[in-house]
A = this chain, B = another copy of it.
Amino acid sequence: VVENTSNETPLDPLPSWNEGKSKTAILSFIKSSTDTTSNNFVPVEDRIAVFDNDGTLWSEQPAYFQLFFAIDRIKAMASDHPEWKDQQPYKAVLEGDMKALMASGERGLIELVMTSHAGMTTDEFQQIVTDWIATAKHPRFDRPYNELVYQPMLELLDFLRANAFKTFIVSGGGVEFMRPWAEAVYGIPKDQIVGSSIKTKFEIKEGVPQITRLPEIDFIDDKSGKPVGIWKFIGRRPIFCGGNSDGDLQMMQYTASSKYKSMMLYVHHTDSVREWAYDRQSHIGQFDKGLDEAKAKGWNLVSMKDDWKSIYTFD
C-alpha cells in the first residue's frame, strides 16, 4: 500500500476502478488479509492469487486470440501441406469456417496447434509465438492482441503483488502460447503461468540439448482441471481467484474452501460498447452456472460497464 507522509489523500492503487461495491470489496479484502492484527490475517507464503486469462485478463472476442494464432499458423504452413485442403480441421481453417473451429473449444485449438507443430523444438515454437504477437492485429481494434489486456486487472495484479501476494495465471489456453509474452505484459514470471500443455521429450539435436514437442495432450487446464493444475503447479489452495466463465467455477470453489477468508472475483462482460456483452448464451466464455453460484454464494461480480472507468490501457 502506498502511503503519504503528509495529509494529502493516499494514492489510489486502483485508479481505473469506479468507486463502488467491487472496489471496496477488493480494498477491504487486501487490508484485512495483510493486517497482522486482523482475524483474517494471512501469512505471506499463503497469499496465492490465481487468475484465468481469456476474458479475465484480456479479451476473448470475437474468438479466443489463440484461434487467430492457430489460423495464421495453418495458413503460413499450408504450402508445405497440400493434404490439408481435404483434411479436417485444417480444411475448416483454410476455408475460414470460424463456426466449426469455435465449436471445437480450447481443447480443439490446442490439438490443432499441437498436430501442426509436432516435432518442433520448444525454442522454435517460442520464437514463432513471439513473432506473431509482435505483428498480428486484432480485427476490431487493429492493435496487437496483447494490448487488449484490461487496465483495471493490471492494477489489481500490481496491488496484490505490492501486498506480497504471489500472482499466477491458471488458464485453459496453451501454456506455450502464453509464456512468451505474458511475463512482460502482466508482470507474471513464466514459472507462474499454468495452462493446457502437450507432452514433450528431451533429445540432443545436432549436438544441442532440446525439448521437442510431441503430438500428444499432456494436461487440459480447464474446469475441474484448474484446481488439479493449481495443486500440481502451486501446491496450496489460493486465497484469491479471478475468472469470467463456467470454466473457472471449480477453481472458485477450491479457493472458497480455503481455511482463510478468501476472495472470489468474477468479471462479468456487460459492456457492449467498449468491449463485448455476453454471458449465459455465449459459446465463448459461457457464464451460466458460475453466474448462478456467484449470486447464491455472494461472490464478487465485477460489471465491466459499471465498475471499470477504462477497459484497455489505450482507452
Interface residues of A (CB under 8 A from B): 45, 122, 166, 168, 175, 179, 183, 189-193, 197, 200-204, 208-211, 218, 224-225, 227-228, 231-236, 250, 253-254, 256-257
Chain B residues near A201: list those with CB within 8 A.
224, 228
Chain B residues near A208: list those with CB within 8 A.
257
Chain B residues near A179: list those with CB within 8 A.
235
A253 to B254, CA, bound (A): 39
- Nearest B residue to A191 via CB reads B234
Q: Is A200 within 8 A of B235, CB to CB?
A: no
Chain B residues near A166: list those with CB within 8 A.
189, 191
Of B197, B203, B234, which is within 8 A of A232 by CB?
A: B197
27 contacts between A and B (CB under 8 A): A45-B190, A166-B191, A175-B235, A190-B234, A190-B235, A191-B191, A191-B234, A191-B235, A191-B236, A193-B235, A197-B232, A200-B231, A202-B225, A202-B227, A202-B228, A202-B250, A202-B254, A203-B224, A209-B227, A209-B253, A209-B254, A209-B256, A209-B257, A211-B228, A211-B231, A218-B232, A233-B233
Distance in angstroms from A281 CB to nearest chain B CB is 26
Chain B residues near A250: list those with CB within 8 A.
202, 209
A93 to B231, CA, bound (A): 30
Q: Is A200 within 8 A of B232, CB to CB?
A: yes
Q: Is B183 within 8 A of A231, CB to CB?
A: no
A189 to B250, CA, bound (A): 24
Of B45, B191, B200, which is within 8 A of A228 by CB?
A: B200
Chain B residues near A193: list those with CB within 8 A.
235
A192 to B228, CA, bound (A): 17
- Nearest B residue to A210 via CB reads B257
Chain B residues near A236: list those with CB within 8 A.
190-191
A191 to B192, CA, bound (A): 8
Distance in angstroms from A257 CB to nearest chain B CB is 5
Chain B residues near A253: list those with CB within 8 A.
204, 209
Chain B residues near A228: list those with CB within 8 A.
200-202, 211
A168 to B253, CA, bound (A): 29
A253 to B210, CA, bound (A): 10
A100 to B144, CA, bound (A): 59
A183 to B183, CA, bound (A): 24
A250 to B224, CA, bound (A): 33
A202 to B192, CA, bound (A): 21
Distance in angstroms from A220 CB to nearest chain B CB is 13
A313 to B17, CA, bound (A): 51
Q: Is A227 within 8 A of B254, CB to CB?
A: no
Q: Is B231 within 8 A of A122, CB to CB?
A: yes
A202 to B122, CA, bound (A): 30
A253 to B233, CA, bound (A): 24
